[in-house]
Amino acid sequence: MLTLAIDTSTKTGSVALLGKDSVLAECLINVGINHSETILPAVEKILSITGAKVVEIDLFAFTVGPGSFTGLRIGAGTVKGFALATGKPVAGVSAMDALALNVANSTITICPMLNAGKKEIYTALYRPSRSGMPEKIRGERVVNPEEFLNGLDEEVIFLGDGVRKYAGLIGEILPDKSFFASHHLQYIKASAVGFIGVKKFSEGDTLDLITFTPQYLRLSEAEEKFRVIG
């Protein structure tokens, strides 16, 4: 089984091709270029390196959100195009779930944190699980970081681009209970998206190719302005 996985939910982008139980190739892009210019070339490169063809892909997986509005739309559009052309299924994966998988071996609470702009973060909480997939114990939300952190009272390992922005605040509010993942674990990996996507596919959890949309958690600026005017 071949799975092509894509992440475009943050400023970094990632593409991976997975075999039955291994990563065949993976690419992480962190050069500040719009995903519309990098993701398709990265897919082509991954396929070229592995010798695989799009028609041979059995499953497409991508991050449905939360994250960048533009990035999520690019990822969704790219995957939808591949899936409609090949007739293969699509699994939508939470960006929070994929990020949490980077530290699945943690023994303490896991907190992925993405910068949501407007002095807010996207976040959720997980606890380690024997299955190897962290178990979500607090759902995804967009929230003020100070408000969120003041509600924590346990040891937590933080990771994600929101951590880089709010590391000082985290250390101030949770001085003895905050830990930070290594630098190379701070980015969403398409391989993690792929592994979670395969699990969802095995459970019959796939997306409708016609109706699926990204999960933004909040309105876009255009929608907010329209609501105010309306």
Task: Write out the chain's pLDDT in tens, 230 residues.
Answer: 999 999 999 999 999 999 988 999 999 999 989 999 999 999 999 999 999 999 999 999 999 999 999 999 999 999 999 999 999 999 999 999 999 999 999 999 999 999 999 999 999 999 999 989 999 999 999 999 999 999 999 999 999 999 999 999 999 999 999 999 999 999 999 999 999 999 999 999 999 988 888 989 875 444 444 333 44
The distance from CA 230 to its chain's CA centroid, rounded to whole angstroms, is 33
The pairing of beta strand 120-127 with beta strand 109-117: antiparallel
Question: What is d(CA 141, CA 68) in angstroms, rounded to the nearest whole number?
Answer: 14
Say what the pTM is: 0.93
Beta-ladder partners of 159: 112
Here the tokens at position 157 are 């390992």
Paired with 29 in beta bridges are 13
Strand 13-18 and strand 23-29: the pairing is antiparallel
In the chain, at which residue ranges do the beta strands (DSSP E only) sit? 3-7, 13-18, 23-29, 59-65, 90-94, 109-117, 120-127, 135-143, 156-159, 178-180
Cβ contacts of 34-39, under 8 Å, gap ≥ 24: 34/70, 34/74, 35/8, 35/70, 35/71, 35/74, 35/75, 36/74, 38/13, 39/6, 39/8, 39/13, 39/15, 39/74, 39/75, 39/78
> How confident is the model at residue 222, as a pLDDT?
41
Q: Which DSSP state fits 210? A: T
